[in-house]
């Protein structure tokens, strides 16, 4: 699907570049494939960013993400009592950073929306995250995620800084073997940084 040239001309340059860089990946037919990897599988440019961002934490998962002919790498790590996640292009260009936060750290409008969304759910666990999206390694947008775990699975709500619901995703519980991002061996990862 292509956007008409005059429509692209009306968009701010950064927004037009975002559409171009994303390849309109939300279009029907795009399929994201996630493959667990070990440190040696991550290109040097991507690893430099991952190494710098995760220093002082424990990497729990490294993943190669392929979608529409594009590849990026995702690192998940734990630092202190918070979970973090980042996505980076093979050359080291930062795509996004997600950081677990507490309920009091949410902006007021986001907190009200999160409370409303979780009020009627039989939630066992509610976790909050701030996600920063980057374009060419420059911060472009911030949004918040509320992850609610119930007996029926996990639901993730994306909420804008203004408190508006942007997206909802629901995952059914699944079981898959865990691998260590450093060694590829089974079991919980423990790559101390």
In eight-state DSSP terms, residue 186 is B
- For residues 46-55, average pLDDT: 96
Do the beta carbons of residue 31 and residue 62 sit within 8 Å? Answer: no
Per residue in 71-97, pLDDT (tens digit) is: 999 999 999 999 999 999 999 999 999
Q: pTM value? A: 0.69
The CATH number fitting domain 102-130+141-174, selected from 3.40.50, 3.10.450, 1.10.1760, 1.10.3470: 3.10.450
Decide whether 31-99 matches 102-130+141-174 in CATH topology: yes
In this structure, whether the domain defined by 31-99 belongs to CATH 3.40.710.10 is answered with: no
Ordered by start, the domain boundaries in the chain are 31-99, 102-130+141-174
Q: What is the pLDDT of residue 118?
A: 82
Residue 19 has pLDDT above 50, yes or no: no
151-161 pLDDT tens trace: 888 999 999 99
Per-residue pLDDT at 60 exceeds 50:
yes
pLDDT exceeds 50 at position 149: yes
């Amino acid at each position: 699907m292509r956007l008409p040239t005059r429509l692209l001309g009306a968009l701010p340059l950064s927004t037009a570049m975002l559409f171009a860089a994303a390849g309109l990946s939300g279009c029907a037919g795009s399929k994201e494939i996630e493959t667990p990897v070990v440190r040696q599988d991550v290109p040097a440019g991507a690893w430099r960013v991952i190494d710098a961002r995760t220093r002082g934490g424990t990497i729990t998962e490294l993943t190669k993400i392929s979608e529409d002919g594009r590849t990026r790498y995702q690192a998940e790590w734990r630092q202190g009592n918070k979970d973090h996640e980042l996505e980076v292009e093979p050359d080291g260009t930062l795509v996004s950073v997600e950081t677990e936060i507490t309920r009091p750290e949410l902006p007021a409008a986001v907190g009200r929306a999160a409370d409303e969304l979780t009020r009627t759910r039989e939630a066992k666990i509610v976790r909050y995250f701030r996600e920063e999206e980057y374009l060419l390694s420059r911060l472009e947008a911030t949004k918040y995620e509320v992850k609610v775990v119930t007996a029926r699975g996990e639901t993730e709500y994306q909420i804008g800084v203004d408190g508006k619901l942007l997206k909802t995703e629901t995952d059914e519980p699944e079981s898959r073997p865990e691998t260590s991002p450093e060694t590829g061996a089974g079991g919980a990862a423990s790559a101390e940084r």
